Structure 1
Amino acid sequence: MVIESMKTQICPTNLTSAATESVMNTNQTVIYLRNIYLVFSMNFFGIASNTIIIVGTFTKKSLRKPTYYLMANLSACDILTSISMALLVISTMIAMRLKMAEGPFTTLCKIVMIPTYIGYTGSIQTLMIISFERYRAILKANKKLTSRRVGVLVVISWLASLTLASLFINSIGNIGYQCEMNTKHNTLVIIRHTILAVTHFILPAMIMIFLYSKILRRLNSKNSITRNESIRSKQLKRKTIYMLFLTTIIFLICTGPWAAALVFGSVTGRFTSELADDKNVLLMLLATLARISIPISSIYNPIIYCIYNQQIRQLFFPCCCSRSNAVHNSNIDGNSTSKVKFKPIVVSSSQNALEYQRRKIVLKQQG
């Protein structure tokens, strides 16, 4: 009788606990699916919009310029990052459903995560090349970058990205069904994370901010207009620099949490997967931002380009921008496309000085 009464008391409690656990699992599943849909939506937008920029750069004659080629290369890096992040989510879902063993899943993590680091490294290097190109074009006008040199720099940046990413392939592993860059805390991990944070974030950020500050100071100075440069040309250059500088700043903001998580992991030995379940709200926020910041960094560039650059805006909205006047077209090099023809005054030896002065006065009044 005592055992039966205990069973009677325990069974409702077990049922309640099971029901509560079932509800919690259902809520977690719903949240997980929403996050997956959000990631896939961002990745799809990033791939589609950046593809339009690449195709437009090589098909539209007015966009075949060094800076546009570099922007197209940046779009290619963003596409690679978006594809890699989508594959990471898909591989995690498949591994969880199939209950994949640790060895095969670790190999899968290496294959999927390497393109993410290649895309990120290529993006940061391309942004640095763009800042150097704008610096040379504006502060050293006689040393403009040619399309051929841009091609060489693009090839070098991709080779460097592949080399740097391959150095860290052995460190990629997994904690459960979560891919991680490092799963062990030792001196080598600390050195690796420190090198990554310095070379892939801190140093490039300092260089780019310094270069753009010099460029903006030059463009905003009152004595920056030369004889061959009009006010309109200066305005176009300033607008282009604002666009590229904003692109760089947002990229640094988006990748800042990832760099901070690297430094935190190298010091404490706690990685993103562990911080996501931490009781400290700030650490949970850092882990969340470190995970979602990389996908976000691949979708905002086309939006900024459309806001600041009319020629790129025409790629996305050709019907709305077809009637735009050529005088108001945004020119990435800041050169005015309109030409004014002046008819020269030819003075023969038979004309006297009085007649010549009279004609000059008439022309001055007319023009």
Structure 2
Amino acid sequence: MPEGNITTLKNFTIVGFPGLHHNYYGLVSAVMFIVYMCILVGNGTFLTLFAWEKSLQKPMYYIIINLSVCDVLFSTTTIPKIITKYWFNDGSISFLGYFIQMHFVHYTGSVIAFVLGIMAFDRYIAVCNPLRYAIIVKDSTVFILCIIAWLLAVPCILVMVIRAYPLPYCSTNTIIHCYCDHVSITRLACTDRTPYGLAALISSMFVLLVPLVFILFSYGSIVKVDLRISTNQGWIKTLSTCSSQLIITALFFLPRCFNYFASFTGLMFSSDIQILVILLYSLVPPMINPFIYCIRTKEVKKALTKHLARTMLIQFLKPNLHDSFQNITQQLEPFSSSFISHLCTAYVTDLTVQMNVDIRIIVSMWYSLFPPLVNPIIFCFQTKQIRESLIMKIRKISLSQLKAPLR
């Protein structure tokens, strides 16, 4: 491109959802504000419990603390700007500010991937080598691994930022996204982005696939060990030990793998759908993870109920507080998904009337199919009788398959 056509951009404009009508900016900003508050309150509660309760100061919870800090950093980096865009109609961001936000977006995501790998290592040792767990997984070991995770992500992200920053940017300064990322900015470059995109792809694949391969190996080994367990209680204990980690890992990796797979295979979506999918896998896990810790982790649930019992408001519930909390969480989870579904049913027609057809279809499919998909999983995880029956059936099938070649 001729030199005269290249202009120096001083700021960018983040568009957000291109198909969203201006009348609904206030509603979107309010939803984002509620999501941000849930993330801060949920993770802040867990961090406070960790600081107060000595029973939670164990290697496993040190790992979760790193995950919680990353969730707060990512949300604080991205959501306030989204709220500003829709609440005050101010989507502008400086040139330097864009790259600073881009760095923290990719950096915190990379650290989360490595921390999930450490979490899988912890569960692998706990199940496959329990007698040496206290020797291998010590506070110092987890501390060193977490420091490595935070340091290892630095060069991976700096490569992308340093190579993208000096590129010549021209024509438009419009970013079709809700926050700053590498792909959106390099599309505006006035030069061939293939060499820069290849380096970023290699870095992203390293950050995503290396922890994922180790996670698959760890949980595959855990399943292999589970097949040798001869008692239902052993299966229940293993499932209880790993269920929360599996949920957190699946929420992080599955949508990202789908997004990369769709891009690789040429499966194209509209800009609204791409942004919606990215926001779902970026903001839903930080909001849900603290509830998973509190509901699925016995020690966190016990610490939370103990501190709640000290308040004047619920002293009369103290004798049965733990049982009441457990029963409430069992009933609340399926109710919440059903409530959200009906809420979406009430508002989706009016809200999406100005959106394109694709975004209306994806929103309708989300509120129609997500609760039926999640509710059986909630019942199996939270209802003891169903969980024991399911484990017994799985054991019988696995044992029959193992004995079949011997006949």
Separation in 1, partners of 2:19, 2:255: 31
Residue 109 of structure 2, aligned match among 103, 113, 120? 120
Q: Once the 2 structures are TM-superposed, how far is the Cα of residue 239 of structure 1 from its aligned partner? A: 0.4
In 1, Cα distance between the equivalents of 2:240 and 2:271?
38
Report if aligned partners of 1:126, 1:157 keep a CA contact under 8 Å in 2.
yes
Instruction: Give the alignment partner of residue 286 of structure 1, picking from 274, 282, 305.
Output: 274
Q: Distance in 2 between matches of 1:53 and 1:38?
A: 23
Structure 1 partner of 2:376: none
TM superposition shift of 1:220: 4.1
Q: After superposition, what is the alpha-carbon deviation per residue over 1:270-322, rounded to whole angstroms, capped at 9, x for unaligned?
A: xxxxx9xxxx6566423431244212221111122222123222455433787
Tell me which amino acid in the other structure corresponds to 1:169: V
CA shift for structure 1 position 164: 2.3
> What's 2:24 paired with?
31
Asked if residue 207 in structure 1 is aligned to residue 214 in structure 2, the reply is: yes
**Residue identity opposite 1:298 in structure 2:** P
State whether structure 2 residue 56 is matched by structure 1 residue 67: no
Radius of gyration: which is bigger?
A: 1
- Structure 1 CA distance, aligned partners of 2:98 and 2:259? 18
Stretches of structure 2 lacking an aligned partner (at least 5 in a row): 1-17, 310-316, 327-407
Per the alignment, residue 3 of structure 1 pairs with none
1:309 to 297, 317, 329: 297
Distance 1:241 1:26 in 2: 41
Identity of aligned residues (%): 18
Structure-2 separation of matches of 1:26 and 1:222? 54
Comparing 236-245 with 249-258, greater Cα deviation is found at 249-258
- 2-structure distance, mates of 1:137, 1:316: 24
Q: Alignment partner of 1:305: what SS?
A: helix
Extract unaligned runs of 5+ from structure 1: 1-24, 226-230, 269-274, 329-367
1:345-356 correspondence runs (5 A): none
Mapped partners of 1:27, 1:251: distance in 2 = 26
SS in 2 for 1:298: helix
Query: Which of 284, 288, 293 is matched with 1:300 structurally?
Result: 288
Contact in 2 for aligned 1:201/1:259 (Cα 8 Å) = no
Distance 1:285 1:313, change over 3 A: same
Equivalents in 2 of 1:302, 1:245: separation in Å? 14
Work out whether residues 107 and 153 of structure 2, in 8 Å CA contact, stay in contact via their aligned partners in 1: yes
Is the Cα–Cα contact under 8 Å of residues 248 and 285 in structure 2 kept in the other structure? no
Q: Which amino acid aligns with 2:71?
A: D
Indicate yes or no: 2:159 matched with 1:167. yes
Task: Name the residue aligned to 2:248.
Answer: 247
Match for 1:188: what amino acid? P
Question: Structure 1 CA distance, aligned partners of 2:241 and 2:218?
Answer: 14
Residues 106-255 of structure 1: pairs in structure 2 closer than 5 A: 106-141=95-130, 142-143=132-133, 144-170=136-162, 171=164, 175-178=173-176, 179-181=180-182, 182-183=186-187, 184=189, 186-223=193-230, 235-255=236-256
Asked if residue 86 in structure 1 is aligned to residue 79 in structure 2, the reply is yes
Structure 2: how far apart are the matches of 1:26 and 1:81? 25
CA gap of 1:196–1:26, structure 2 versus 1, over 3 A, is closer
Q: 1:43 aligns with which of 36, 49, 52?
A: 36
- Is 1:197–1:259's contact at 8 Å kept on the other side of the alignment? no
Q: Work out the number of aligned pairs and report it.
A: 279
With over 3 angstroms needed to count, the CA separation of the structure-2 counterparts of 1:64 and 1:180, relative to structure 1, is closer
Deviates more, 1:83-92 or 1:127-136: 83-92
Which letter does structure 2 place at the counterpart of 1:286? Q
Distance of 1:316 and 1:62 partners within structure 2: 12
Cα 1:249/1:112, change in 2 over 3 Å? same
1:64 & 1:180 partners in 2: Cα distance? 35
Select which of 69, 94, 116 maps to 1:76.
69
Q: Which residue is equivalent to 1:361?
A: none
Distance 1:43 1:192 in 2: 33
Matched-pair contact (CA < 8 Å) for 1:314–1:322: no
Deviations 1:139-196 (A, max 9, x none): 1232531011111111121122233222222326884155441233522233134214
Which protein has greater RCO, CA pairs closer than 8 Å, 6+ apart? 2
Q: Equivalent residue for 1:344?
A: none
> Equivalents in 2 of 1:72, 1:207: separation in Å?
21
Q: Which moved more, 1:195-204 or 1:146-155?
A: 195-204
Q: CA distance change for structure 1 residues 46 and 246 in 2, over 3 Å: closer, same or farther?
A: same
Structure 2 length as normaliser, TM-score? 0.59
Q: Provide the rounded CA distance (Å) in 1 between the counterparts of 2:147 and 2:102.
A: 22
Match of 1:55 in 2: 48
- Distance (whole Å) between structure 1 residues aligned to residue 243 and residue 318 of structure 2: 22
Please, which moves more after superposition, 32-41 or 144-153?
A: 32-41
Decide whether the 8 Å contact of 1:42 with 1:299 is kept in 2: yes
Question: Displacement of 1:212 after TM fit?
Answer: 0.9
